[in-house]
């Protein structure tokens, strides 16, 4: 069943007013915004986000991670931190974004998601407006913003994905993950104009399985949705890595020479090149892109 993305009449009027305020001029000098998304949970999306942030930070870029899994955020755990403020404080208008955004021990900044907060699972239009304003400020202060989006097809997750310029879709080479990845591709493609979609196949058990997985998924997306996706690479399965992540530094810092780290570096070099291309682009800003998508629904 497709998600119901249509706001009620009152919300639509409110969003039209927001949209008029959010579209004064083309975007200039805003960060490159990349959404990391997945069809199902447990694919390793947050693992990739936190390590990508460290890789880009090591290149001298000003990097922010925004944990958009509003009620089940875990990026702060992968950065080894325990932030004082989270998305709940921001969306409830209790703490300004300048205070919620905190520097991690490894360099990148983090706007932490809420954890175990049921009210953040169902945000209304005013919450999304607050998020749009916060993202605009974060993008104005950084070179690249990585959105760690919630898994699945909820409206608020799709809104954050579609606010990005590029989407990195993270999947595994098993049927449940691939089925859900295809569902997300189909849902994004039906929104008309959407960010470029790129695929990382995580936790592969043999070399080349990622490319084969991508080829199958890309062919299905092309034939049945008319959507092109692009391949970023594969990351091998390593039980020793999987079992050590929580409470440990990002893999690029703790195990820089392991095979998984080397595979990640290949993926991140491609992302870095795309960030350089996106930097300085003129067009709608992140707040405007978010407003546009909500109004289209």
pLDDT for the residue 26 = 47
Residue 200: helix, strand or coil by DSSP? Answer: strand
Whether pLDDT at 219 is above 60:
yes
| Span 135-154, pLDDT tens digits | 999 999 999 999 999 998 88
pLDDT for the residue 272 = 96
pLDDT for the residue 127 = 83
Among 26-35, 150-159, 173-182, 287-296, which range has the highest average pLDDT?
Answer: 173-182
Least confident of 24-38, 72-86, 260-274: 24-38
Q: What is the mean pLDDT of residues 59-76?
A: 90
Q: What is the mean pLDDT of residues 228-232?
A: 97
- What percent of the chain is modeled with pLDDT above 70? 84
Ordered domains of the chain (ranges, CATH): 9-296 (3.40.50.300)
pLDDT for the residue 284 = 85
pLDDT for the residue 247 = 67
- Residues 224 and 6: their CA atoms lie apart, in Å, by 25
Least confident of 5-14, 169-178, 198-207, 274-283: 5-14
Q: Residue with structure tokens 């905190």? A: 102
Whether pLDDT at 14 is above 50:
no
Closest CA to 117 of 78, 81, 73, 159: 73
Closest CA to 235 of 271, 211, 256: 211
Whether pLDDT at 97 is above 80:
yes
Closest CA to 39 of 114, 150, 201, 174: 150
Least confident of 22-26, 75-79, 208-212: 22-26
Q: What is the mean pLDDT of residues 97-117?
A: 89
- Residues 248 and 188: their CA atoms lie apart, in Å, by 34
Whether pLDDT at 180 is above 70:
yes
pLDDT for the residue 199 = 98
The mean pLDDT of the chain is 86
pLDDT for the residue 114 = 72
Closest CA to 165 of 42, 293, 23, 7: 293
- What SS3 string covers 247-279? CCCCHHHHCCCCHHHHHHHHHHHHHHHHHHHHC
Whether pLDDT at 288 is above 50:
yes
Which residues, at least 6 apart from 10, have a Cβ–Cβ distance to it below 8 Å? none
Whether pLDDT at 274 is above 80:
yes
Closest CA to 139 of 276, 272, 31: 31
């Amino acid at each position: 069943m497709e998600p119901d993305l249509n706001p009620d009449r009152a919300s639509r009027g409110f969003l039209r007013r927001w949209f008029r305020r959010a579209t004064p001029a083309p975007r200039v000098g805003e960060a490159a915004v990349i959404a990391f998304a997945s069809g199902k949970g447990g694919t390793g999306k947050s693992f990739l986000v936190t390590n990508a942030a460290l890789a880009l930070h090591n290149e001298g870029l000003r990097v922010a991670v925004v944990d958009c899994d509003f009620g089940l955020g875990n990026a702060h755990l992968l950065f080894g931190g325990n932030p004082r403020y989270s998305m709940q404080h921001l969306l409830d208008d209790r703490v300004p974004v300048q205070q919620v955004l905190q520097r991690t021990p490894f360099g990148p900044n983090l706007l932490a998601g809420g954890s175990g907060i049921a009210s953040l699972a169902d945000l209304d239009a005013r919450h999304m407006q607050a998020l749009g304003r916060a993202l605009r400020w974060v993008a104005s202060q950084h070179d690249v913003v990585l959105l760690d989006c919630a898994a699945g097809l909820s409206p608020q997750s799709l809104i954050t994905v579609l606010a990005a310029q590029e989407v990195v879709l993270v999947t595994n080479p098993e049927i449940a993950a691939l089925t859900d990845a295809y569902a997300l591709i189909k849902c994004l493609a039906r929104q008309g104009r959407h960010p470029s979609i790129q695929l990382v196949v995580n936790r592969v058990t043999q070399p080349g399985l990622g490319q084969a997985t991508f080829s199958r998924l890309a062919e299905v997306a092309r034939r049945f949705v008319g959507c092109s996706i692009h391949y970023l690479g594969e990351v091998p399965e390593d039980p020793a890595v999987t079992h050590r992540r929580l409470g440990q530094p990002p893999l690029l810092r703790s195990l820089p020479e392991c095979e998984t780290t080397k595979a990640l570096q290949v993926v991140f070099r491609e992302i870095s090149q795309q960030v350089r291309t996106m930097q300085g682009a003129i067009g709608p800003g992140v707040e405007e892109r978010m407003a546009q998508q909500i109004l289209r629904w």
